[in-house]
Amino acid sequence: MAVCCLNRPLRALSSRSVLPLPVGGRFQKFGFFLNTPRMSAQKTSSRIDIVQVNPTNVDETLGCSAQAIVSAISKEIARNTAIIFAEEVHSGQMLRCDVIVDEIASLDIVTTTRELYMEEAPEIFEVRAYDDQGNEFTTLDGVEFQWSLININSHQAESKLPSVSVLRFISFRDSPYETPASVDEFERIGKRGNLVLLEGLKTGSAKVSVRLPQQEYRHVPPLEVQLMVVANLIIDPPDVHIMPGDTVKYKILQVQNGRLEEIPLPSAQYYLGMVDEQVGLVDESGHATAIKQGRTKLQLHDRYVDDNSGIKMPSAHFTVALSEALTLSILPHRNWALLVGEHYEIIVELFDKNNRKLHIGPNIEVWVEFPRKYFHVELSTKNNTHHYGWPLVIGEAPLKATLNAVTTVSGQRQEILPSVSAQETMFIFQKISVHPPEVVLPWDPDVKPRYEVKLKALGGDGSFLWSSSDTTVAMVTQSGLVKTHFYGSVKITASMTRNQHIRADGLVTVLPPSHLEIIEYDIEAELGVPLFLHVAMYGDRLGQDARVPFTQCKDIPLYVKDWNNHFNFNKTLKVNL
């Protein structure tokens, strides 16, 4: 036969291949490629009783093929070698590939992980085979394998019963993976090849076993690999610093199909436990109570899995510390320069001696003194650590917060001595506005006018930072003077210096004129006295079906014609409006 390929150098993808002996009435197939640039090659086998060469995708015009399948057909239970030759018919260049046909002596299971997540995407497990010299077989296509699962959960004896299985086999057809051709042949007849998919059903340990079912390979020992199935769980919060006597509510979250699902507590399967119960305690509902200063871990347990099984369950850090500092903050920008009528959230935060933020639970008692004349409190939490409201009038107003006490689970109120407090001052201003809010200027491609427009910002503390959203259209000085360069639309922003999140915008647009209009009204004038015509000029907004008048158009030249010669046009006369 002839073998060829276009536009590639002549080469064989493998110089040596190892094939298993054909058993069980099926042939093992090994495919390799011979590539030649617009040339043909003759290919033959030195031992037609050992291997068989079959061309595929034969080019009828050239009478050659770019691919051939080499099949082991030896009937002898012994190691044999055949040589495949490929000769380029024009140059006579030869390619060689040695094919070794031998018995399988040992197996190995290959996978990316031996820890599967419950109810997540299945994992691929592959068996590889080796001869008695340790050479790996090139392909196991067409070789049947027998796979089995054995549970080894510590709460039950080893079992092959499906009702207690923590794992299951699933077919490639029922998975998100593409089905390999060799696997598809086995799945059609209810058998398995060298590739399988395993999915975790519930937490626990199991063994996956694989063996060769053929009588000829009864001497090959089966291979077992221990696997663990774990739930993809998260403890929330993962790290807590808390005051003695206070409580925190923990959640158990499970990652399922890319989403976080909360597991309700108490749970029939999971529970939380504190490693050092002198530092803290946790109940079945996930409420943890701080007992005394110290650091420990909160451990998640699975009732179906022994703690000594080797399955690593998630844990969270639990630190009990005293409060050494209190701070007042205001959201959303943590800046005490405020605007009348805007909504804000004022929060109280506690920190330990290492400046770590403390969790504030329902047992913490904080007192906050608001200036009621200046700030209206709409809503407050029970422990007074979060307040929602808005400023009422312009001015400066002090705000003070103090940590008073902690109420223990038994109901005992423990005062904090010495007291921890903080004070801040609210600076309340009127809202900012830019005047004029919009300026529309005409553009002439010949004159290319450059305008200067003065904008003014009102409100705030009177000190502003000016900026332009597009300096290619217009720039702005820190005095609010806008200088245009080109046509387009630009946003001019005035931000308050002490809180740049407080801002207001003005819009400057430069457009080509699209419409002229003489404003109609009755005029009576003496002869020789100048008569002024009022002309309105309009432009169309970019990307909008809207016509807008120009703010000024003195730099745009106008052509004026008198149709009955009763008037003279004075080009030098200027009008100040």
262 and 300 assigned to the same domain: yes
- Answer yes or no: is 500 within a domain: yes
47 and 85 assigned to the same domain: yes
425 and 335 assigned to the same domain: yes
Strands (E), 231-321: 233-236, 239-242, 247-249, 251-256, 259-263, 270-274, 280-282, 287-290, 294-302, 315-320
Is residue 267 pLDDT above 80, yes or no?
A: yes
Is residue 572 pLDDT above 60, yes or no?
A: yes
Token pair, residue 190, equals 């209810």
Confidence band (pLDDT; 50, 70, 90) for 2? Answer: very low
- Answer yes or no: is 302 within a domain: yes
Q: For all residues of the chain together, what is the average pLDDT? A: 80
Task: Please state, in angstroms and as integers, the Cα–Cα distance from residue 225 to each residue in 104, 108, 205, 228, following that order.
Answer: 19, 9, 11, 10
- Bridge partner list, 506: 492
Q: Per-residue pLDDT averaged across 527-531, rounded?
A: 76
Confidence band (pLDDT; 50, 70, 90) for 99? Answer: confident
pLDDT tens for 119-168 read: 778 888 888 888 888 888 877 887 888 898 887 754 444 444 344 578 88
Confidence band (pLDDT; 50, 70, 90) for 351? Answer: very high
Is residue 335 pLDDT above 90, yes or no?
A: yes
Confidence band (pLDDT; 50, 70, 90) for 32? Answer: very low
> Which of residues 274, 301, 320 is at a domain's end?
320
- Say if CB 227 and CB 204 are below 8 A apart: no
Token pair, residue 444, equals 């002439």
The top-scoring range by mean pLDDT among 108-112, 253-257, 285-289, 553-557 is 285-289
36 and 112 assigned to the same domain: no
Is residue 25 pLDDT above 50, yes or no?
A: no
314 and 339 assigned to the same domain: no
Is residue 24 pLDDT above 90, yes or no?
A: no
Is residue 229 pLDDT above 90, yes or no?
A: no
- Answer yes or no: is 67 within a domain: yes
- Say if CB 2 and CB 63 are below 8 A apart: yes
User: Among 353-362, 410-419, 553-562, whose mean pLDDT is lowest?
Assistant: 553-562
Give the pairing type, strands 51-59 and 464-468. unpaired
- Answer yes or no: is 540 within a domain: no
Higher pLDDT, 118 or 213: 213
**Rounded Cα gap, residues 508 and 439, in angstroms:** 5
- Answer yes or no: is 524 within a domain: no
Sheet holding 233-236, edge to edge: 233-236, 251-256, 259-263
The top-scoring range by mean pLDDT among 130-134, 152-156, 386-390, 546-550 is 386-390
- Bridge partner list, 234: 253
Q: What angle do CA 228, 233, 235 make, to 5 degrees?
A: 140
Token pair, residue 493, equals 């922003």
- Answer yes or no: is 476 within a domain: yes
User: Among 123-137, 195-209, 215-229, 512-526, whose mean pLDDT is lowest?
Assistant: 512-526
Q: Residue 63: name the closest of 45, 85, 43 by CA.
A: 43
* Other residues' Cβ atoms within 10 Å of the Cβ of residue 538: 17
426 and 436 assigned to the same domain: no
Q: What is the pTM of this model?
A: 0.63
Long-range (24+ apart) CB contacts under 8 A made by 433-438 are 433/457, 433/458, 433/459, 433/504, 434/458, 434/492, 434/494, 434/504, 434/505, 434/506, 435/506, 436/506, 436/551, 437/506, 437/507, 438/506, 438/507, 438/508, 438/509
Q: Residue 476: name the closest of 462, 457, 460 by CA.
A: 457
Confidence band (pLDDT; 50, 70, 90) for 20? Answer: low
pLDDT tens for 363-376 read: 898 999 999 999 99
Instruction: Give the pLDDT score at 556.
Output: 77
CATH number of the domain that residue 112 is part of: 2.60.40.10
**Rounded Cα gap, residues 441 and 511, in angstroms:** 6
**Rounded Cα gap, residues 303 and 443, in angstroms:** 77
402 and 343 assigned to the same domain: yes
468 and 506 assigned to the same domain: yes
What are the backbone angles phi and psi of residue 181, rounded to the nearest 5°? -60, -40
- Compute the 3-state secondary structure of the chain and give helix, strand, coil in percent, each to the nearest 5: 5, 50, 45
84 and 114 assigned to the same domain: no
Number of domain units in the chain: 5
Domain that holds residue 411: 325-430
Higher pLDDT, 78 or 432: 432
Is residue 283 pLDDT above 90, yes or no?
A: yes
